[in-house]
Amino acid sequence: MEGMSYQRFPKVKIRELKDDYAKFELRDTDASVANALRRVMIAEVPTVAIDLVEIEVNSSVLNDEFIAHRLGLIPLTSENAMSMRFSRDCDACDGDGQCEYCSVEFHLNAKCRTDQTLDVTSKDLISADHRVTPVDFGDPAAYDSGDQQRGIIIVKLRRGQELRLRAIARKGIGKDHAKWSPAATVTFMYEPEIHINDEMMENLTLEEKKAWVESSPTKVFDIDPNTGQVVVVDREAYTYDDEVLKKAEAMGKPGLVEIYAKEDSFIFTVESTGAIKASQLVLNAIEVLKQKLDAVRLSEDTVEADDQFGELGAHMRGG
Amino acid sequence: MIHDMLLPFECRQAKISYSGKLMADVEFQYLDANSPVVRERFNFGQFPIMLKSKRCHLQDAGPQKLKSFKEEAAEMGGYFILNGLERVFRSVILPKQNYPMSMVRNSFRDRREGYTDKAVVIRCVRKDQSSVSVKLYYLRNGSARLGFWIQGKEYLLPVGIVLKALVDTNDHEIYENLTSCYGEKYVKEKGAVGSQLVGERAKIILDEVRDLSLFTRFQCLQHIGEHFQPVMDGLRKESYHVVAEAVLRDYICVHLDDNYDKFNLLIFMVQKLFSLIDQTSVPDNPDSLQNQEILLTGHLITVYLKEKLEDWLQKAKKLIQDEIDKESKTFDFFSLAHIKKVMEKIPSKQIGASVETMLKTGRLVTQTGLDLQQRAGYTVQAERLNYLRFLSFFRAVHRGASFAGLRTTSVRKLLPESWGFLCPVHTPDGEPCGLLNHMTSNCRVTSYYDSQGKIRDFSKIRMSILSVLIGVGMMPSLPKLVKSGPPAVLSVLLDGRVVGAIPSSEVEKAVAHLRRLKVSAASLIPDDLEVGYVPLSMGGTYPGLYLFTSPPRFVRPVKNISLPPEESQNIELIGPFEQVFMEIRCPDGGDGGRNNAFPATHEEIHPTGMLSVVANLTPYSDHNQSPRNMYQCQMAKQTMGFSLQAIRFRADQKLYHLQTPQTPIVRTSTYTKYNIDEYPTGTNAIVAVLAYTGYDMEDAMILNKSSVDRGLCHGQIYQTETIDLSTESNKSDRGQRMFKRNKDAKSIHSSIDSDGLPYVGQTIYPGEPFCSIYDKTENKWQTNRRKGSEPVIVDYVAVDMKNNKNLLQKLICLSLLQANIRFRHTRNPIIGDKFSSRHGQKGVCSQLWPDIDMPFSSVTGMRPDLIINPHAFPSRMTIAMLLESIAAKGGSLRGKFMDATPFAKSVKKANGETKSESKSLVDEFGETLKSYGFNYHGVEVLYSGVYGTELTCEIFIGPVYYQRLRHMVSDKFQVRSTGPTDQITRQPIKGRKRGGGIRFGEMERDAMLAHGAAYLLHDRLHTCSDYHIADVCSLCGSILTTTFIQPQRRAVREIGGLPPPRAPKKVICRACQSSKGMETVAMPYVFRYLAAELAAMNIKMTLELSNGAAA
């Protein structure tokens, strides 16, 4: 074992990148790394979310906890969350969680004075820090007509009802509460490898080919209108549902197609809540992952570390 | 704002009864001369008012007005508010009124010597719904006796005497009438009910009367009067003749006024009895809905009130009589003022109060029993746990409390007669199974009001029915012309009155004609007339044409397809009595094996009409194993849902509330029809069926922690505490106690406001004070502290200002007498909470599993909210749950709600074609899923959240509507390390509330013994229980005679500054007067208690002590 290196050099190829959406390939690594990345993106990349609500006046129909819970779930822009402190180990405020290093204060003050129902939205949350604000979902291009209705509705007020509160947002991770998770969805798929047995395929009639192609719920295969040959249109549309394999079996042609999942190649889809840009989410995740590994490395020589990590510790020492 | 109206919500808050003043005019008239009628108004006290009834402020109020009255927008009423609690009447099944039922019961034999087990019973009901039952028993010698109850005792009279006493008649006429049902030429024919024995029996009946030498009507009346004078109240001084008339009027066939009608009915009953004896007809089943009707609130209250008023009048009469007898100067019988003065001595206001008590307790306080089977259990509290539970209280029908204790189970049986009226699914399992039924969604009950809300004139209705009947060939019973019976002619009974006879050849035509008139709006025939045509049969039910118009009958709508289709109105209301003899087609495709021999005249509107509202809400219930649907009906009623919209104005003791309910994606047509969206009861959860981590074994289920974080199944319990200072102390020092905060007790200022009540929005932890009370007379402060184990939030504080309106000056100094403090418990899902789908699949949350460890789909990235074990399906066969999952998946992809009405396949669409006949449901959903790129069968490939590798099986995943049940660990857990003990035995006390322990009982002990776990046993039953070290005197062997001797303190020895030396404990036996031979022995404390108890009975217990080794 000694001297043998497990080191690999994973490659990332970005396919698509939007503010809240990213799609990329991760190659030359294995499922453990891919899954670790997924797990960290969902649960351990820090963001800022409202954690403490002091309600001064609440005469709305929703009770205090309900409103506090709703406020907590509003995604806040957390670009600087990585550099913020967790309030539990903030020295400036003794873990009080109310200082500028670990918290951001919000104010909300709304009262309905007309007969029309007033929607209190995330737009009404006034932040003390311009870097931490409720996420703006308004896509100006798409939602131009409905001008005022853009934020996330917190509560609706009728005439005379009032909501006044102070909220404190803190840094946290999704493991503790889902409101700190920056990811709406993170998933990866194994890149499929599809081999069509051309010889067998040639023996099929056009009807049979059509039926076979149709058997897949997603459009993976198609028939070339010119040559009449079955071709793979979209490899990645394959969902590993084995429908085509079953169909081939049912047609009495087992082995018509062979599909494998590549063990070292993954296609990631990342959707962000808007708290962090999707690209940043991936980078932060790698950063967090590195920190976690550092934590392991720092305790390398201790006996406890060997107890805890065993072979992994040795592996890390060996590099 | 103070208004004069007392509104229901105020009653709920103030814990008072919603009632109004009952005033009644009492009419006075002197019999002599033509003295005028004088009316005097009397106050009969406060009478409870049903919500939304004619006397209710909410009557005819629309949603807007209801909201302004702080009620639900969809308030239905129908219940009472008594002491702030909502109570509903529990409807009870009664025997069908005015229908002679033949019965066979062993208990009839025990009436007297010579009685058989056969009788014909009729429950006669007057116009005001008060009833008297009459039984006609058959005697072994061929005669019959008429039995009726007077003041808790049954009196039996020979029928002959009654027949003769009723009308002026002769033996020949009675004989002719009795034997009219027998015709020699028909003996073996279908539908013949008589036999040659009828004549013999008629002779015996007449001979009996003659043997008593009673020949004329007058003699019979004298005979009856003589025997009944002692028992007839208030008629002691009247002549025999008058007494006999009263007996006949008040106890025999009371639904009829005319003696000729009574005579005819008795003749009919005797004929039916003879037919039962001759086995030409079968006994009627009293447990079948065919022979039953329902007891309603209003009717019971009417009957109860009538009795109370009669009592009052009787008392008044007695008092006046006493005054007259006294012949005092101060009383003048001819002065109304005097009479009124006497009458006012009887407390009239108690009458309203007695009705209120009846509704409060559900208990009838009555001498006569009101001809009802049970005395208690008529009302129950209407719990607003969720809408479905509340609704079910109004649809529930109980068979009667007397049947609950019965060991026979025949009454609980589901009989085919109840089809369409009582739901076969919606009955609880366990103790009340089959006794507590629920009406189907289509079923209703007839009332005194017609569909336009106008009071019915029954005499008019009966007249028009009679004229129709005569029009179609009925021969009226007066004048008596018909001397014939079945099968040639059939008797026609209209509301228990023999109105005539109709040739059996004409009946069918007549029935069809009546049904046509029923449906048509123009005729005077009511649409809920029950045309009970019992056809001729070979020894079946006694034939005849029985018509019923009277109120509390079940009816349900069906389509009459024998009518020409161009008539738009073809929905007919039918009753359970007639439905047995009708041909009703159910659109299930089959004809029930009837092979066109009996063409259907009617058709069910929809097959789901056989189900109750709650049962109708189960999606695809036709695909489930039937007991699962029953479980769902029960669980739907224990679900935490959106309980009330006016929750702010409520002061219910406990209310469960779901924070973010959803509308189900898969729903039945009933869901839309009943607007359940106003009160939803669950959440659409993404459910994966898979065995993951083992935490989903045995009906446990795994919840996704992140889903719970985001608000899945979050809920609250609202709990109101009412502090009433006026009742807590006695009335004398009323107003001396008030809510006030002690200025000096600074520690409570954080949780209690200056008015002595808590701040709204304040969190209160267990043991903290939440309200402060000051007692003026004793100058004492008292704080009420929170019990329980969880922190609560003050949701609302309401004080009652109205109650002490008369003490205006008190208002100024803010002395409030009553406060409602509503607390809010947050109840978010935790391990141990109970959940259920809509298919009787309940489970307990075993873990809140981290989102990242949940399996995920590589295509959508979706993680399930909930994981259940696949073993939940094979034995339970809840196929509908799988269908729901697949349908909801398709529905959410399409963005459409899915219709899951059961039996939808067998129902024709409006255009006549059946819905997608060739395709099965699954095929339909499969195609949808496939078109959206999902697997045809609803399965997906998932990846382990922990390893990121593929789970090597296909996993069934989709949205299922999940309900959160009200059973939560927070209310149930019981732990104790140490705590309170019982005073006598020093063992831990029981009871969760008091911090007691869980009993380690005999069976547990046996198990320990069987395992040889002696140390554990010793620990449980001794060390952790009532461990005690006793001093035993080894000389006399007693443990009771030993006492401590307190060493005398000698002042001399005391040296200042030094603590006194601890005196050695000295134990002495009082019996032996010595401290020698004292030993300490460890024993359970109860042992000492036993010794003491035995000593009290003069039994001495002696302990012989020895060393362990020497034993």
Buried b (16+ CB within 10 A) or exposed e, A297-312: eeeeeeeebbeebeee
Residue at B412 is within a domain: no
Are residues B118 and B264 located together in one domain of the fold? yes
Model confidence over A51-84: pLDDT tens digits? 999 999 999 999 999 999 999 999 999 888 888 8
Written as six digits, the tokens of B559 are 């389509």
Buried b (16+ CB within 10 A) or exposed e, B642-680: bbbbbbebbbbeebbbbbbbbebbbbbebbeebebeebb
Are residues B354 and B484 located together in one domain of the fold? no
Contact B746, B729 (CB under 8 A): no
| Of B276, B575, B584, residue with least CA distance to B418 | B575
Residue at B557 is within a domain: yes
Tell me, what's the pLDDT at B211? 85
Q: Average pLDDT of A309-316?
A: 60
What does the H/E/C string look like for B155-170? EEEEHHHHHHHHCCCC
pLDDT over 70 percentage in chain B: 92
* Interchain proximity B761–A73, CB inside 8 Å: no
Are residues B212 and B244 located together in one domain of the fold? yes
CA B82 to CA A247: how far, in whole Å?
69
Residue at B68 is within a domain: yes
Query: Which residue numbers of A have CB closer than 8 Å to B's CBs?
Result: 31-32, 34-35, 38-39, 42-43, 55, 58, 61, 63-66, 69, 73, 174-175, 177-179, 181, 185-190, 217-219, 237, 239-241, 243, 261, 269, 271
Q: Which residues, 6+ apart, have CB-to-CB distance to B327 below 8 Å?
A: none
Tell me, what's the pLDDT at A156? 93
Q: Which residues of A touch B946 (CB under 8 A)?
A: 35
**Does residue B43 or residue A7 have the better pLDDT?**
B43
- Chain A contact for B948, CB < 8 A? yes
- Chain A contact for B71, CB < 8 A? no
Q: Pick the last residue of a domain from B984, B1000, B1022.
A: B1022
| B937 residue type, one letter | H
The mean predicted confidence, pLDDT, of chain A is 84
**Does residue A13 or residue B727 have the better pLDDT?**
A13
Are residues B956 and B847 located together in one domain of the fold? yes
Which secondary-structure segment (H or E) carries A314? helix A311-318
Report the CATH number at residue B807: 2.40.50.150
Q: Average pLDDT of B259-267?
A: 87
Model confidence over A205-214: pLDDT tens digits? 888 888 888 8
**Which residue of chain B has the CA closest to A174?**
B706
Are residues B63 and B121 located together in one domain of the fold? no
Q: Which residues of A touch B935 (CB under 8 A)?
A: 217, 239, 241, 243
- Chain A contact for B850, CB < 8 A? yes
CA A258 to CA A200: how far, in whole Å?
12
Considering only the beta carbons, identify the residue of A39, A179, A217 that sits closest to B709.
A179
* Interchain proximity B941–A239, CB inside 8 Å: yes
**Which residue of chain A has the CA closest to B850?**
A175
Residue A226 burial class via C-beta count within 10 angstroms: exposed 0-12, middle 13-18, buried 19 and up: exposed
Written as six digits, the tokens of B170 are 């002769």
What length is written for chain B? 1111
Report the CATH number at residue B1013: 3.90.1800.10
Q: Average pLDDT of B1071-1080?
A: 83
Q: Which residues, 6+ apart, have CB-to-CB distance to A249 below 8 Å?
A: none
* Interchain proximity A38–B948, CB inside 8 Å: yes
Contact B69, B10 (CB under 8 A): no
Model confidence over B527-552: pLDDT tens digits? 888 998 988 888 888 888 999 998 89
- Chain A contact for B706, CB < 8 A? yes
Residue at B417 is within a domain: no
Ramachandran area for residue B77 (φ above 0: left; ψ -120 to 50: alpha; else beta): left
Q: Which residues of B touch A185 (CB under 8 A)?
A: 860-862
Report the CATH number at residue B100: 3.90.1110.10
**Which residue of chain B has the CA closest to A33?**
B948
Closest CA–CA distance from residue A205 to any residue of chain B (Å): 24
What does the H/E/C string look like for B997-1063? ECCCCHHHHHHHHHHCCHHHHHHHHHHHHHEEEEEEECCCCCCCCEEEECCCCCHHHCCCCCCCCCC
Sign of CA dihedral B65, B67, B70, B74: positive
Band (B723; pLDDT cuts 50, 70, 90): confident
Are residues B1016 and B1078 located together in one domain of the fold? no
**Which residue of chain B has the CA closest to A267?**
B858
- Chain A contact for B347, CB < 8 A? no
The DSSP-derived string for B587-617 is SSS--TT-TTTS--SEE-S-GGGGS-HHHHT
CA B29 to CA B20: how far, in whole Å?
29
Report the CATH number at residue B895: 2.40.270.10
What does the H/E/C string look like for B719-753? EEEEEEHHHHCCHHHCCCEEECCCCCCHHHHHCEC
* Interchain proximity B824–A39, CB inside 8 Å: no
**Which residue of chain B has the CA closest to A241?**
B941
Position B40 pLDDT exceeds 90:
no
Contact B808, B705 (CB under 8 A): no
Residue at B606 is within a domain: no
**Does residue A203 or residue B803 have the better pLDDT?**
A203
Residue at B767 is within a domain: yes
The mean predicted confidence, pLDDT, of chain B is 85
**Which residue of chain B has the CA closest to A217?**
B933
- Chain A contact for B384, CB < 8 A? no
Are residues B260 and B323 located together in one domain of the fold? no
Number of domains in chain B: 7
Written as six digits, the tokens of B1025 are 């229980």
Residue at B442 is within a domain: no
Tokens 């059973």 sit on residue: B967
Are residues B951 and B873 located together in one domain of the fold? yes
Are residues B175 and B129 located together in one domain of the fold? yes
Written as six digits, the tokens of B1043 are 């006492």
Tokens 């123009």 sit on residue: B522
Are residues B796 and B683 located together in one domain of the fold? no
Q: Which residues of B touch A35 (CB under 8 A)?
A: 945-948
**A190: Cα separation from own chain's centroid:** 17
Domain residues for B1060? 1026-1111
Please give the backbone phi and psi of residue B768, each rounded to the nearest 5 degrees, phi first: -85, 150
Tell me, what's the pLDDT at B1111? 46
What separation in angstroms does the CA of A73 have from each of A55, A68, A127, B342, B658?
A: 17, 9, 16, 75, 18
Neighbours of A69 (CB within 10 A): 22
Model confidence over B546-595: pLDDT tens digits? 999 988 999 999 988 887 766 667 888 999 999 999 888 887 666 666 76
User: What angle in degrees, to the nearest 10, is found between the helix axes of A278-298 and A31-43?
Assistant: 110
Q: Which residues, 6+ apart, have CB-to-CB distance to B463 below 8 Å?
A: none
pLDDT over 90 percentage in chain B: 30
The DSSP letter of residue A236 is G
Query: In sequence order, what are the beta bridge partners of B772?
Result: B783
The DSSP-derived string for B30-79 is -SSTTPPPEEEEEEEEEEE--TTSTTSTTTT--HHHHHHTTS-TT-----
* Interchain proximity A271–B950, CB inside 8 Å: no
* Interchain proximity A63–B948, CB inside 8 Å: no
Considering only the beta carbons, identify the residue of A43, A55, A240 that sits closest to B852.
A43
Written as six digits, the tokens of B526 are 């009511």
Q: Which residues of A touch B851 (CB under 8 A)?
A: 42-43, 174, 178, 181
Neighbours of B1014 (CB within 10 A): 10
Q: Which residues of B touch A181 (CB under 8 A)?
A: 706, 851
Q: Where are the alpha helices (DSSP H) in B895-942?
A: 921-931
Mean pLDDT is lowest, of B186-200, B416-430, B861-875, for B186-200
| B685 residue type, one letter | A
Q: Pick the last residue of a domain from B826, B846, B863.
A: B826
Contact B518, B531 (CB under 8 A): yes
Are residues B938 and B992 located together in one domain of the fold? no
Contact B193, B281 (CB under 8 A): yes
Position B836 pLDDT exceeds 70:
yes
In this complex, how many residue pairs, one in chain A and one in chain B, have their CB atoms less than 8 Å apart?
Answer: 97
Residue at B542 is within a domain: yes
Written as six digits, the tokens of B902 are 């059961």
| Of B305, B299, B298, B313, residue with least CA distance to B355 | B305
Q: Pick the last residue of a domain from B582, B598, B623.
A: B582
What beta strand segments (E) does B634-732 contain? 639-640, 654-658, 666-667, 682-689, 700-704, 715-724
Sign of CA dihedral B352, B354, B358, B360: positive
Closest CA–CA distance from residue A160 to any residue of chain B (Å): 16
Q: Which residues of B touch A179 (CB under 8 A)?
A: 709-710
CA B670 to CA B197: how far, in whole Å?
57
Contact A261, B950 (CB under 8 A): yes
Closest CA–CA distance from residue B957 to any residue of chain A (Å): 14
Give the predicted TM-score (pTM) of the model: 0.87
Model confidence over B1018-1069: pLDDT tens digits? 999 999 898 999 888 888 888 888 888 776 665 555 556 666 666 566 788 8
- Chain A contact for B858, CB < 8 A? yes
Tell me, what's the pLDDT at B1057? 63
Mean pLDDT is lowest, of B702-706, B708-712, B897-901, B991-995, for B991-995
**Which residue of chain B has the CA closest to A67?**
B659
Position B168 pLDDT exceeds 70:
yes
Contact B207, B510 (CB under 8 A): no
Position B911 pLDDT exceeds 50:
no
Q: Which residues, 6+ apart, have CB-to-CB distance to B554 below 8 Å?
A: B289, B293, B294, B421, B439, B443, B444, B445, B575, B576
* Interchain proximity B716–A39, CB inside 8 Å: no
* Interchain proximity B948–A34, CB inside 8 Å: yes
**Which residue of chain B has the CA closest to A57?**
B761
Interface with chain A: mutation pick from B851, B893, B932, B957, highest number of A CBs within 10 Å: B851
* Interchain proximity B710–A178, CB inside 8 Å: yes
Are residues B33 and B115 located together in one domain of the fold? no
Contact B613, B439 (CB under 8 A): no
